[in-house]
Amino acid sequence: MELRSGFPLFLQQFKSLLKKNLLLSWRNKRATLLQILSPLFFIFLIFAIDRAIRANNLASSVYKSVKDPPAIPISPITPCEDKFFIKRPCYDFVWSGDDNPKFHTIVQRIMDNNPGRPIHPAASIPGESVSSLLLEKEMVKSFKDKFEVDAWLLSNPLRCPGAIHFRERNNTVISYGLQTNSTAVQKRGRYEDSTNKFQLPLQLAAEREIARYLIGDSNLSWNVFLKEFAHPAKPPPFSSVGLIGPSFFLAIAMFNFVLQMSSLVTEKELKLRQIVVEAGVPYLLDFSKTFRIIWSFFPPNTFAQALQVLSSAVQTPEDHALRWSDRGKCAPYDFCYLTINDIYKWLLGTFFVWFVLAIYFDNIIPNACGVRKSIFYFLHPGYWLGKGGQKVKEGGICSCLISAPHEEHSLPDDEDVRQEENIVKHQLAEGVVDANVAVQIYGLSKTYPGTMNIGCCCKCKRTRPYSALKGLWVNFAKDQLFCLLGPNGAGKTTAISCLTGITPVTNGDALIYGHSIRSPSGMSSIRKLIGFDILWDALSGEEHLELFATIKGLSPNSIKSVAQTSLGEVRLTEASKVRAGSYSGGMKRRLSVAIALIGDPKLVILDEPTTGMDPITRRHVWDIIENAKKGRAIILTTHSMEEADILSDRIGIMAKGRLRCIGTSIRLKSRFGSGFIANISFYGVDHSPALADGYAVSATHREAVKQFFKNRLNVKPKEENNKFLTFVIPHDREELLMNFFSELQYREVEFGISDIQLGLTTLEEVFLNIAKQAELESAEAEGSLVTLSLTSGESVEIPKGARFVGIPGTQSAESPTGYMVEVYWDQDDTGALCISGHSQKVPIPSGIELPSSPATRNHRRLGQIVHGVVIDPSLVSEVIF
């Protein structure tokens, strides 16, 4: 397949990624709409605020043209309860001069003649009973003189809105003075107008009643009206767009940005910045130029200043808006440090500064795998020439790495692994690159360095270095599938991450089709040889394949047909237009397989490709993978032993960072399985041709067959029921098998046997054995102790993983060397080792000595724990158990 390269490839990739991004925006319509419409929403909001302010202004005659102002009557004295925040009980007014009976009459008349509301207790508060009010409520209060009033006001604040002080000058002149509580108290955003509400009504009532009293005409009409001046309409004092516009427009501009901010704190910080800029800080005289320059590097600040300049140009109706030709000028009579033109330049300049910084930080901040580039990576010429500079580091910028201890490479225990290692070492020494080998791995090691992170409160968090891969030597052949198996944490992902350049290696190297993973230029060639596996929920299967085919550099006219063929191969043609987000788990896996194989990659890495698939589809995908082996190497990681068994040409099982075994499935089964599995089926009760009384005889036959296996092969059944017996025959009895099964077949009728099946143990058993062996080794290396509770009731402390253990203090006449047991180990649900049982006690072979001290014997006698002695397995013959 011909692939594009160089600039045409770059252009093709750019176009397809742009298309992908537009498609994703189109598909995520809600989020995109929200981003597009949010500015319109804010504009609508500011429009609504402007209308509301105008409507509010219309209520005031100041903003209306008044040609013939109406006469407005003065209102009656209002109840004291109408005063904002009055304290109860309260008085409608208080007065002084109560030593003069004339003033009593005048006050009584003021109260009686208050228009619409004579001041009587019963009438003053609607809805309340007269009797209770007469008793409880006094409406006005009298004092001797104004000094008494002042004293009362001082000790009873907020109990009345005003006071009136009468004075008789002579028989025809009565004067009065008014005192009003004009403290401005706000209620629901409004201030009380004490002049109109309290002072004028009281003044009018006092004048009216004094005049009537002095003239002696109680019907004398005495009215005062108020009129405002005729005036033209006053323009509104400010434009809401001009006043609050800058914050709104800035909010509009920042909305999409804020949407992407997950942190509320950041959002709050940004809002704080807006408020500061809105007030003109630091673009004022008092701030130094340096401060202004630093401030201007943050684009929202310059942008907000631009809005400030623009809005001040339309603040009042008298202002002239800013013309395009005036963008380089300051407003007249204004100090201005930045014109709109300057702001354009700042915004454009800072765009490039931040763009470059974004790329820089993207490179030096650790990715999901904890890998980043050096902070001076851009100084490496190779970075610019495309021939290097891709070298990566681990750990955060603010963490210091703890150097990893040097890991000694120990020779593998397994002969096949040793042989593989020798072949690869030989090729390395001779500089031979085998033409049939796709990947050569030379002692690949990976130690994740420990880190010391300085967290909050200056606390140091320390993690120890961890050796995840301890020297891997292996070849992956072309046209073959190599399956990497291993329990969780074995190091499989680490090995693959090293091969694909995601994680930097600590030691060793690997050649993929001759390109070294340690050389930056090699790595960029390797990336072109490897398949992808990324899915976007909003893209359909077809779009995924077309996108990756384009990125891989397939010629544009072949992309559609290649994508359709791939979809057909993984049986996704019908769902090709459906978005991947709606695919089932199995469909997603099939799409991943198709993506991994598109563009004819020379190395395909498949990570658990059939997880979640139904058996029919799984078989189909296995066929696809089987067919895909041709012309490439495939590395498969899986936890399905069936998949590994069927697909693999070679299998490697890893545990604790090391390759524990390697070979074909049959080879591993024969070497690491417990042996052969023999399944013996018996005729049922009704079908036995030879038996008359079925079940009882069948049970007899089963016992006879068990005895036959015990006598000839020394094995007991592993599983049994009415119709079957299953035996596991160890490998060391292999040479007995031929005669044994010939005889069994010969005596089939005699034993009531309907079928005999003989097979190797399963790959799963091999896997479990290897995993267990690795756990035992690591437990031994750790040397931690556990307590073995013997069936005899004694407790012995033994090192974790120990197989043969001598029990001190058991020396006797029958066994002068003492007794020992074989400990059986198993793995719990988490994979950790646990004791599953032990053999019967047997005498320790001669030549091995246990410590024999009176203290140990005493411990045993008192039922206390003694320390078991580990016995070298090579000194123990299995026959003794």
Ligand X SMILES: Nc1ncnc2c1ncn2[C@@H]1O[C@H](COP(=O)(O)OP(=O)(O)OP(=O)(O)O)[C@@H](O)[C@H]1O
Region binding ligand X by CB under 6 A among candidate stretches 483-491, 529-537, 594-602, 670-678: 483-491
CB of 496: closest distance to ligand X in angstroms? 8
Helix or strand (DSSP H, E) at 176: strand 173-180
CB-wise, 307 or 495, nearer to ligand X? 495
Site for ligand X in 108-127 (CB under 6 A): none
Tokens of 135: 């008793």
Does residue 767 interact with ligand X by CB under 6 A?
no
Contact 122, 169 (CB under 8 A): no
Told to check if 493 binds ligand X by CB under 6 A, we report yes
Residue 12 — φ and ψ, nearest 5°? Answer: -60, -45
Instruction: Output 814 or 828, the one with its CB closest to ligand X.
Output: 828
Could you tell me which stretch among 305-313, 491-499, 691-699, 774-782 binds ligand X (CB under 6 A)? 491-499
Contacting range for ligand X; rule: CB under 6 A; set: 54-62, 487-495, 504-512, 610-618 = 487-495
Q: Least distance (Å) from ligand X to the CB of residue 17?
A: 28
- The CB-of-781 to ligand X minimum distance in angstroms stands at 16
Task: Name the strand (E) or helix (H) holding 340.
Answer: helix 340-364
Of 234 and 464, which has the nearer Cβ to ligand X? 464
Site size toward ligand X (CB under 6 A) is 12
Q: Which is nearer to ligand X, 393 or 867 (CB)?
A: 393
Closer CB to ligand X, residue 39 or residue 489?
Answer: 489
- Exactly one of 121, 370, 396, 831 binds ligand X (CB under 6 A); that residue is 370
Of 332, 330, 351, 353, the C-alpha closest to 283 is: 330
Q: Which among 97-105, 156-164, 489-497, 790-798 is the span making contact with ligand X, rule CB under 6 A?
A: 489-497
Give the distance, in angstroms, between the CA of residue 264 and the centroid of all CA atoms in the same chain.
15
User: What φ, ψ does residue 9 adopt, rounded to 5°?
Assistant: -65, -45
**Cβ–Cβ < 8 Å for 594, 567:** yes
CB of 491 to ligand X, least distance (A): 4
Q: Is-contact 83 161, C-beta < 8 A? A: yes
Find the shortest distance in angstroms from Cβ 420 to ligand X. 19
Shortest separation between residue 831's beta carbon and ligand X, angstroms:
11
- Whole-angstrom distance, CA of residue 727 vs CA of residue 399: 57
Q: Of 306, 293, 314, 291, give the one whose Cα is nearest residue 339.
A: 306
| Candidate ranges 17-25, 105-113, 490-498, 856-864; the one touching ligand X (CB under 6 A) | 490-498
Q: Which of 492, 618, 800, 841 binds ligand X (CB under 6 A)?
A: 492
Q: With CB under 6 A as the contact rule, which of the stretches 307-315, 333-341, 486-494, 551-559 interacts with ligand X?
A: 486-494
491 counts as binding ligand X under rule CB under 6 A: yes
User: How far is the C-alpha of 298 from the C-alpha of 350, rounded, in Å?
Assistant: 7
Q: What are phi and psi of 664, to 5 degrees?
A: -75, 165
Q: Are 822 and 841 in contact (CB under 8 A)?
A: no
Among the listed ranges 241-249, 346-354, 484-492, 620-628, the one in contact with ligand X (CB under 6 A) is 484-492
| Residue nearest ligand X, Cβ-based | 493
Q: How far is the CB of 602 from ligand X (least distance, A)?
A: 23
Q: Which of 754, 757, 741, 748 is CA-nearest to residue 678? A: 757
Q: Is 349 in the site for ligand X (CB under 6 A)?
A: no
Q: Which of residues 34-53 bind ligand X (CB under 6 A)?
A: none
**Residue 490, interface with ligand X (CB under 6 A)?**
yes
Among 303-311, 482-490, 520-528, 793-801, which window interacts with ligand X (CB under 6 A)?
Answer: 482-490
Binding segment (CB under 6 A) for ligand X, from list 89-97, 319-327, 396-404, 481-489: 481-489
Q: Which stretch binds ligand X (CB under 6 A): 251-259, 492-500, 510-518, 661-669?
A: 492-500
Nearer to ligand X (CB atom), residue 468 or residue 604: 468
Q: Rule CB under 6 A: is residue 448 a binding residue for ligand X? A: yes
Shortest reach from residue 846's CB to ligand X, in Å? 44
What does residue 859 show for φ and ψ, rounded to 5 degrees? -55, -45
Q: Which of 121, 236, 382, 489 binds ligand X (CB under 6 A)?
A: 489
Quote the least distance from Cβ 466 to ligand X, whole Å.
Answer: 5
Q: How far is the CB of 489 from ligand X (least distance, A)?
A: 4
Q: For the residues of 70-100, what is the DSSP string, one character each?
A: PPEEPPPPPPGGGSTTPPSS--SEEEE-TTS
Task: Answer for the pair 239, 321: CB distance below 8 angstroms, yes or no.
Answer: no
Choice between 396 and 851, CB closer to ligand X: 396
* Among residues 488, 558, 739, 789, the one that binds ligand X under rule CB under 6 A: 488
Residue 404 touching ligand X (CB under 6 A): no
- Give the nearer residue to ligand X in terms of CB position, either 491 or 801: 491
Give bridge partners of residue 530 from the DSSP assignment: 603
Tell me whether residue 492 or residue 772 sits nearer to ligand X (CB atom).
492
Identity of the residue, 370 or 694, whose beta carbon is nearer to ligand X in the bound complex: 370
Taking CB under 6 A as the rule, does residue 494 contact ligand X?
A: yes
- Tell me the closest approach of the beta carbon of residue 762 to ligand X, in angstroms: 20
Q: Which of 581, 598, 603, 610 is nearest to 545 (CA)?
A: 598
d(CA 621, CA 86): 85
Q: What backbone phi and psi angles, to 5 degrees, belong to 291?
A: -60, -40
We find the least distance from the C-beta atom of residue 451 to ligand X, in angstroms, to be 9
Omega before residue 282 within 30° of 0, cis? yes
| 97, 486, 663, 675: residue in contact with ligand X (rule CB under 6 A) | 486
Please, which residues bridge with residue 677 across strands?
728, 759
Nearest 5 degrees, angle CA 218-CA 224-CA 228?
175
Which burial class, exposed, middle or buried, applies to 75 when counting CB atoms under 10 A from its CB (0-12, 13-18, 19+)? middle
- The phi and psi torsions of 70 (rounded to 5 degrees) equal -75, 155
Q: What amino acid occupies position 252?
A: I
Query: Nearest distance from residue 468's CB to ligand X, in Å?
Result: 3
φ, ψ dihedrals at 733, nearest 5°: -100, 15
Residue with smaller CB distance to ligand X, 115 or 366: 366
Burial of 215 (0-12, 13-18, 19+ CB in 10 A): exposed
Q: Shortest approach of ligand X to residue 590 CB, angstroms? A: 21
In the complex with ligand X, the residue whose CB is nearer, 368 or 429, is: 368
CA geometry: angle 110, 113, 114, nearest 5 deg: 80
| CB-side neighbour CA atoms (13 Å) of 130 | 4
Least CB distance from residue 500 to ligand X, whole Å?
13
Peptide bond into 89 cis (omega under 30): yes
Q: Which of 468, 529, 559, 871 binds ligand X (CB under 6 A)?
A: 468
Q: Which is nearer to ligand X, 488 or 787 (CB)?
A: 488
Side-chain-facing half-sphere of 658: CA atoms under 13 Å = 21
Measured CA to CA, the distance from residue 545 to residue 562 in angstroms comes to: 8
Closer to ligand X by CB, 175 or 403: give it.
403
Considering only residues 820 to 859 of the shown chain, the ones binding ligand X according to CB under 6 A are none
According to DSSP, residue 161 is labeled: S
List, in sequence order, every residue forming a beta bridge with 535; answer none if it has no partner. none
Nearer to ligand X, 463 or 795 (CB): 463
Looking at the DSSP bridge assignments, the partners of residue 870 are: 805
- Alpha carbon separation from 281 to 130, 248, 286, 328, 742 (Å, rounded): 63, 17, 9, 21, 100
> Contact region for ligand X (CB under 6 A) — 485-493, 528-536, 749-757, 845-853?
485-493
- 382: Cβ–Cβ under 8 A, 6 or more apart, which residues? 388, 389, 390, 520
- Closest CB to ligand X among 404 and 595? 404
Q: Which residues bind ligand X (CB under 6 A)?
A: 370, 448, 466, 468, 486, 488-494
